Amino acid sequence: EVERVVVTGAGGRTGALVMERLLAGGVDAVGLVRSEKKARKLRRRLARATGRGGDELEGAVEAGDVLDVERLERLLRGADALVLCSSATPQIKKRSVAWALLNKLVRRSVRPSFRWPKDGEPEKVDWTGALNQLAVAKAAGVRKVVYVGSMGGTQPDNFLNTIGEGNILVWKRRAEMSLVLSGLDYTIIHPGGLTNEEGGQRQLLVGVDDELLDGPPAARRIPRADVAAVAVACLSLRSAANVSFDLASTDLEEGAEPTDIETLVSSLGGKSCDYTINAPPGSDLEPFLNNQERARDWIQQWRDMTSQSMGKLEQSSGVAEPKKQVQRWIQNWKDRTADRAAEAPAASAADEAPAVDSEA
C-alpha cells in the first residue's frame, strides 16, 4: 500500500477528484497546482469534501510549476507514488467566439480558435514538464507512477492536436513512451471525453489503441469521477503494473452495479497500448519500427544510461548537485533521442516485415 502520494495537475477537475479520494482514504497526499490562487481554491474544495480544517490542509496543496526541477525534487522526496494529471490548458480567443456565433447565424460551422499561455504550451507542459517529473521521481525512489493522458494518441489527425496548433496528443504520447522505457512501475490511463457527471453509476470499459473510439458515442466518454477512482485504485493493483489502456463508460443505467476496478483492469488479459502505432516523429522508437534487434539494442543502452545516471544521483549530497544531474540526465536523453533519429538509416525492403514487440 502507498502511504504518500504526489498529484500534479491537482488544480484541474480530474486531479482535484484524485486528491479528494486519496485524502478520504487516509493517504498522505500532496497536490501541485500552478498558482497560489488555485492552491487556495483547492484547499477550500478539499475542506468541504473531507470535513477537515484549513490548517490541516495547508501542507496538502502546493503552488509550483512542473518546469521547476528543484520544486519537484522537494515535493517528491519521500513519496511512494506519483499521479501525473498535469496537462497544458488552452485559452479560447474571445474574438473567435464572436466570429463562430456570427457564422452560425448563416448556418456555417466555424470552430473558435485557441492559444496557449506563455510557458503553458503542450511541448513544455506535456513533454518537458512530464519528463522532469519522471526523472525526479526515479531519482527520489518513487515506486509507482499513474499517468492520466487521453484517448486519440493513435490518430495523427485527431482534433485535439489542432487546438492552437499545439499537437498536445503527440507530446503526451512521447512522454508516455519515455515512461514505458524508464524502468518505473507505471500505469497509463487514456480516458475518453471527460464529463462532470456523478461517478460509480455506469459500467466502465477498457481497451487499447483507441479501439473504443470505433464504438457507440457513449463508449467514448467517461465521468471524471470514474477516472479518478480508477487512477487511485491502480496505485496498488498488481494487474495494473506496467500497462497502458483506454478507459470509457456505458450510458447511465438505472440499477447498474458499480464496476469492480480490479476485475476491469484484469479483463485486459495482458494487452497494453502499442506505441509503435503513430509513434511521434523523432521519438525513441520511430527510427526502429522495422528492426527489432536495433530497437532492443538502443532501449538497453538507454536503460544502462538511466541506471548510471541514477547511481550518480544516489551518491550525491545536498540539493544543488542532484538538481544539476537530473537536468543533465534530461538533456542527455533528449540529445540521445535526436541523435538516434538523425543517424538511423532508412529501412531496407528486408527490414519491412519485423516490428517492435511489446516486450522490447
Q: Which amino acids are annotated catalytic?
A: 150
Q: How many whole angstroms separate alpha carbon 296 and alpha carbon 132?
A: 25
Give the separation between CA 271 and CA 245, rounded to whole angstroms: 8
Can you give the length of the chain in residues?
Answer: 360
Half-sphere exposure of 269 (CA within 13 A, CB side): 1
Note the maximum CA span of the chain.
68
Q: How far apart are CA 88 and CA 99, in angstroms?
A: 25
Which grid cell sits at 360?
522490447
- How many other β-carbons are positioned within 10 Å of the β-carbon of residue 212? 23
For residue 156, the tally of other CB atoms under 10 A from its CB is 13
User: Grid coordinates representing 305?
Assistant: 544510461
User: Closest by alpha carbon to 119, among 86, 94, 84?
Assistant: 86
Helix axes 224-233, 13-24, angle to 10 degrees: 50
CA distance 130 to 142: 15
C-alpha grid cell, residue 17: 477528484
Phi, psi of 319 (to 5 degrees): -105, -40
Q: Which three cell numbers stand for residue 179?
A: 515512461
Judging by beta carbons within 10 Å of its beta carbon (0-12, 13-18, 19+), is residue 95 exposed, middle or buried? exposed
Phi, psi (degrees; rounded to nearest 5) at 7: -120, 115
DSSP label at residue 121: S
SS (H, E, C) 324-340: HHHHHHHHHHHHHHHHH
